Structure 1
């Protein structure tokens, strides 16, 4: 009996590992492909605007898939949905390397996005139901794990491209899939019988949300040829229709009543959208720029991009301790200020710039990522009750994907036909403006429960 607590502790760690190996698949596959965009352009004879659809559709499928699969996990069982997600990622990772055309590759990536989107909400639900002590620490580990894996994506992609080709990026998923599958199969309890059915889904809400996101995506992509006013009008109209429709639903797909009642939380979502728009613009824009303009090979590109991931990982534990003492706002002030500084420093990069200069500039953006990621996550939970954690987390992830969609649209507009240092500087100015908006939102943020408790 003396070994019982240790055994339970070990099982909890293995359970967290099973979920972590699965949940990292989405952010990792989101960014690993960034270094391969140049190779894909060559293989399929595409422009950057064409190949950016590989990014945009992945984000679009993830933004829709996360809340849908979260609802499914509640209705049909977390273990079933988790295993279904792993199966879809396995199928897509097997078939994507054999894609006969770019359209097929996009299709397989969409399947991968839907599968990986099923893993996060079902895995988080499993953690919340199975781990009752130190639950916040377990959820924090998973959040940090998924966030930092996105930052490591370009570096891993660079090494895989150096030793193979872009298909290796998809095959790299299998060790994570296998580890997650074996542990989940053994450790996840059987799902109880549920009375849920497809009829319980707000399918009209799903359709309206999908159409709204897709229309906004088309509007942002139109920037390459000038603003399309009719697309803007349709996007705004669909947004209004979605809001009014969901407002009347008792079980809405997007809980707009929750957003309306929680203004601070809604503004955190807006700030998180801006945070991800900047972060993923850098994560996808820089690798293509380094290869096209600075003439770096994929391995060199991966090493330079490692500066972002490395500094994100280094500062995250320090930021965590600071947040425990002082709350989220001070860390976000540092993080958003670092975004403004780092994006403005991109302006000193010229053609044939020193590798050291580029590395040091990206280090500043890596530090900003470490502060902002953890700061945004903890700020969210400062303003929601325990009962609201599920819905708040789901909308938080949807905000992330809306930001990534915005980033891919920005890059398509700037890098669509050609990639130059001038285009990089245009991206830097836009990201700096977004950074200033993030800083202003942080300044108006009230003091959260964590900071109030620390002050007592």
Structure 2
């Protein structure tokens, strides 16, 4: 990889780490925000929920925008929005204004993530596995150490510091991207002469509105049903309305000439569709562990929050170690072997969890966490490499955005899995479900003949 390309990776990496950093760092600030704004946990938890739901919607939207207007431009605008939101958040007089800043932060960082990976796809043409390993390292590091950084910052400088810390990263990324990445032109040069109606059709504003309304209703229904219990019929109805709206969205997308999500392309390029579907399952398994193991350690094994955090480092360190190694491996052998090994490690981790009992040493949990961590490192690079190989260049932006939406779909399903199974039925059934999901991933990758060029199945 050339020196210029290495600096390009640093420039993009400093930008894309903002999303996982802010999605993990805020978790340790919940208790402090409850005190500051005198609110209950359910209300303050919307600062987490709003970030996830906004990211799930914004990333494919911004991917579409980048395909039309140029990736560098969208990336830089995203950094500006994230920087402004981070600068204003500490001065929020009410929790509502803080929530608005948090949503702005999510939109800005989503623009950066959706476009950053597409920039690498276009400007790094050799050793893309290594390049993806570097990006995954930025993301994994931010996610792994986010809670630790947040705890230290809040301890010494209170909660506003977790927003101010974004500013040097955003500024450094902006300057490097401005200098290192060539200016790109929109894929449709005729856009300058379009009327308002033509702009609406080109951007597919009705499709974006349907997608947003359907996904918001569905996710709020899921989240509220999880917290309200099995008899929360109103939330079930809301989730059902979301599914109906999404069905209308699919019908709309199949009929318009410039769809927001190229569903016909997903039908045509089956390998790309499989990659997105598989990525949902991968994230269900990983985030079930990410959310579930702390619950198990604190409620069943009565481990303190400090020691739980230290034990969970096994998960993050496994990802950090595996990501760059996975990049080199995938450059040589392609993504399929790495994904197969990842599924095997998931199976091992699930079996190890099922074997735990109240007499097992707490440190033994680290074995399972390390297995899932290494698996996540292999998946982070392997799935993105598979996406690159299976997606045509002309739709890589929106495909990458939807790829990130698949991550959040997995996160949400994992949260439900933890609430409905781990807390209610115990760790053995929880581990059994993870085992079945890992077995499905092993079966999918074992039967797949290739993860190669667009159009392959």
Range class of TM-score, shorter chain: 0.7 to 0.9
Asked if 1 retains the 8 angstrom alpha-carbon contact of 2:285 and 2:438, the reply is no
CA distance in 1, matches of 2:288, 2:47: 15
Over aligned residues, Cα RMSD in angstroms?
3.5
In the superposition, the TM-score normalised over structure 1's length comes to 0.82
1:246 paired residue number: 253
Pick from 141, 157, 175: which aligns with 2:134?
A: 141
Offset of residue 68 of structure 1: 1.7
CA distance in 2, matches of 1:331, 1:284: 24
Pairing 1:276–2:283 present: yes
2:317 paired residue number: 310
Asked if 2 retains the 8 angstrom alpha-carbon contact of 1:346 and 1:425, the reply is no
Pick from 346, 354, 372: which aligns with 1:339?
A: 346
Offset of residue 292 of structure 1: 7.8
Pick from 187, 206, 230: which aligns with 1:226?
A: 230
Q: Give per-residue Cα distances to partners, 1:250-292, cap 9 Å, x unaligned.
A: 2111121122223443233222112223323433455577678
CA distance in 2, matches of 1:192, 1:442: 41
Pick from 51, 62, 68: which aligns with 1:75?
A: 68
CA distance in 2, matches of 1:290, 1:346: 12
In the superposition, the TM-score normalised over structure 2's length comes to 0.81
Q: Give per-residue Cα distances to partners, 1:151-188, cap 9 Å, x unaligned.
A: 33333334434444333222221221121122123333
Count of residue correspondences: 437
User: Once structures 1 and 2 are overlaid, which stretch shifts more, 17-26 or 225-234?
Assistant: 225-234
1:152 paired residue number: 145
Offset of residue 242 of structure 1: 1.4
Pick from 33, 36, 45: which aligns with 2:29?
A: 36
CA distance in 2, matches of 1:352, 1:102: 44
Asked if 1 retains the 8 angstrom alpha-carbon contact of 2:59 and 2:114, the reply is yes
List gaps (5 residues or longer) in structure 1.
Answer: 1-7, 416-421
Structure 1 pair 164/285, CA: closer, same or farther in 2 (3 Å)? farther
Pick from 205, 209, 220: which aligns with 1:203?
A: 205
Pairing 1:394–2:401 present: yes
Offset of residue 210 of structure 1: 0.8
Pick from 3, 24, 28: which aligns with 1:10?
A: 3
Equivalent residue runs for 1:358-397 within 5 Å: 358-385=365-392, 389-397=396-404
1:296 paired residue number: 304
* Aligned-partner SS, 1:252: coil
Structure 1 pair 72/160, CA: closer, same or farther in 2 (3 Å)? same
1:419 paired residue number: none
Pairing 1:433–2:433 present: yes
Pairing 1:62–2:52 present: no
Q: Give per-residue Cα distances to partners, 1:61-95, cap 9 Å, x unaligned.
A: 11211122222233333333222211111122122
Structure 1 pair 53/406, CA: closer, same or farther in 2 (3 Å)? farther
List gaps (5 residues or longer) in structure 2.
Answer: none
Structure 1 pair 45/86, CA: closer, same or farther in 2 (3 Å)? same
User: Once structures 1 and 2 are overlaid, which stretch shifts more, 249-258 or 126-135?
Assistant: 126-135
Pick from 110, 114, 121: which aligns with 1:117?
A: 110
Asked if 2 retains the 8 angstrom alpha-carbon contact of 1:66 and 1:118, the reply is yes
Asked if 2 retains the 8 angstrom alpha-carbon contact of 1:36 and 1:157, the reply is yes
Q: Give per-residue Cα distances to partners, 1:23-50, cap 9 Å, x unaligned.
A: 1111221222233334444554555544
Pairing 1:173–2:176 present: no
Offset of residue 345 of structure 1: 4.5
